[in-house]
A = this chain, B = another copy of it.
Amino acid sequence: MSRAVQHPKKRGKLLGIHAVAAKARVSIATVSRTINRVPTVNPQMAKRVWAAIDELGYVPNIQARALGSGRSGVLGLVISEITNPFFPELIQGFEDVALASGYEILVSSTNYDPKRMELCIRRMLERKVEGVAVMTFGIEQPLVEELAERDVPLVFVDAGPQRPGISLIKVNYHHGVRQGVQHLAALGHRRIGFISGPMHLHSARSRAEAFSLSLAECGIKPRAKWMLEGDHTMEGGIRAMEQILDSADRPTAVMCSNDMTALGVLHKAYRVGLRVPDDLSVVGFDDIHMAEVMIPPLTSIRMSRLDLAQAAITALRAHVEGTGPQREYQVDTHLVVRESTGYPPGAMTDLVKNGKAEPARRR
């Protein structure tokens, strides 16, 4: 008797690519080639194959594909915490541009927890991602080590080790922060506070430094007691604001290292009956979507999520696909003026009061 075809089946029915091959009366190799658009397949056959695929509702098993080809087609994205609205917006951008580049993404958040970070790394390794963007705005040392050691292309924002295979995205915090300080100074503020992020984060330090520098540029002497450390959460903003309120001579304006912190400040100000911007001006950082609809709408320093995503993926692709030797990418920031900033209290001379630049006020 003739040797039966030795193919995987289930209840007599062929499975997966084999079923397609059988229906289109071609070999599985041809099916594979058709799907992957290898140009050498006979258009005639290709048509048959596509028809069969359609008819059977065939969806290739991506794991098998990855295994066979040695390419996972996945880029990793490591973020701090998904519940901070900045990150979902970043994820959205990242996904969009990854998709456009033919990649899928795998996002994992550290939640600032070493245990969770381990998990992030493991996930990336297990899934054989082709590169990972670390957008936690801090160098997570173990992350770097484990991944870099295994030659996974990496991209950091702000700071990271100088190794081959690792790219950097430099965010120009200074530009936006300077605009913010100048804006405040122009309104007449001289007593300006700053609530930073957790100081172990590189980005938080960078922002704080940009602030001090900008202050100096405007000829304002920085006061250490007005430099508070927050933690990039609303609660941190509230706590920092409490400290500010406790002090005898308060600043007339405060800048925050991110918008969540600013929301906390806004909230606390509301709680104690301080009007923003009449009694206190506040400016945020990131310009999350929600900033626009805050009460009052938040003046903030915008850092484009899309630019960030674009830069990250460009960097990763450069490594993966061996194009371009570029190592550093730039992302800019700029001020968006809304209504949480105004003249400092007591500055309402007639001269100024009738000025054209007065921001809209409640009622």
Taking a contact as CB atoms closer than 8 A, the residue among B59, B89, B263, B363 that contacts A83 in the complex is B89
CB of A345 within 8 A of chain B? no
Contact of A266 with B by CB under 8 A: yes
B295 A266 Cβ-Cβ under 8 A: yes
Q: How far is the CB of A90 from chain B (nearest CB, A)?
A: 10
**Interface residue ranges of A46-83 to B (CB < 8 Å):** 57, 59-64, 66-67, 72, 82-83
| Cα-based distance from A126 to B64 in the complex (angstroms) | 10
Among B67, B263, B270, which residue has its beta carbon within 8 angstroms of that of A67? B67
Interface residue A225 (Cβ < 8 Å from any Cβ of B): no
In contact, B62 and A127 (Cβ under 8 angstroms): yes
Tell whether A88 is near chain B: CB-to-CB under 8 Å.
yes
Q: 1/0 per residue A77-97: CB within 8 Å of B?
A: 000001101011101100000
**Separation in Å of the A286 CB from the closest CB of chain B?**
13
A275 to chain B, nearest CB (A): 9
Supposing A64-B67, A67-B63, A82-B88 touch, asked if A263 and B126 sit within 8 A by C-beta, the answer is no
Tell me, yes or no, whether A125 is within 8 Å of chain B by CB. Answer: yes
B62 near A362 with CB under 8 A, answer no
Q: Does A351 contact B (CB under 8 A)?
A: no
Which residues does chain B contribute within 8 Å of A294, judged by CB atoms? 267, 295
Cα(A330)–Cα(B69), bound, Å: 45
A234 within 8 A of B: yes
CB neighbours of A289 from chain B (8 A):
83
Residues from 110 to 155 in A contacting B, C-beta threshold 8 Å: 119, 122-123, 125-128, 149-150
Q: Taking the full assembly, how many copies of this chain does it contain?
A: 2
Task: Please determine whether A126 and B62 come into contact, CB atoms closer than 8 angstroms.
Answer: yes
What are 28 A-B residue pairs whose CB atoms fall within 8 Å in the complex? A57-B149, A57-B150, A59-B122, A61-B67, A61-B128, A62-B127, A63-B63, A63-B66, A63-B72, A63-B127, A63-B128, A64-B67, A83-B88, A83-B89, A99-B119, A104-B123, A234-B290, A234-B293, A238-B293, A263-B290, A263-B293, A264-B293, A266-B295, A267-B293, A267-B295, A270-B296, A273-B362, A290-B290
Known: A82-B88, A83-B92. A61 touches B126 (CB 8 A): yes
CA gap between A238 and B270 in the complex, in Å: 22
Chain B residues, Cβ within 8 Å of A72? 63
A82 to B77, CA, bound (A): 15
- Tell me how far the C-beta of A337 lies from the nearest C-beta in chain B, rounded to whole angstroms: 17
- Residues of chain B lying within 8 A (CB to CB) of residue A67: 61, 63-64, 67
Distance between Cα atoms of A123 and B63 in the complex (Å): 12
Q: Which of A59, A66, A87, A296 has the most CB of B within 10 A?
A: A59
* Chain B: minimal CB distance from A69 (Å): 11
> From A235, which residue of chain B is reached at the shortest CB distance?
B293
A residues 253-297 in Cβ contact with B at 8 Å: 263-264, 266-267, 270, 273, 289-290, 293-297
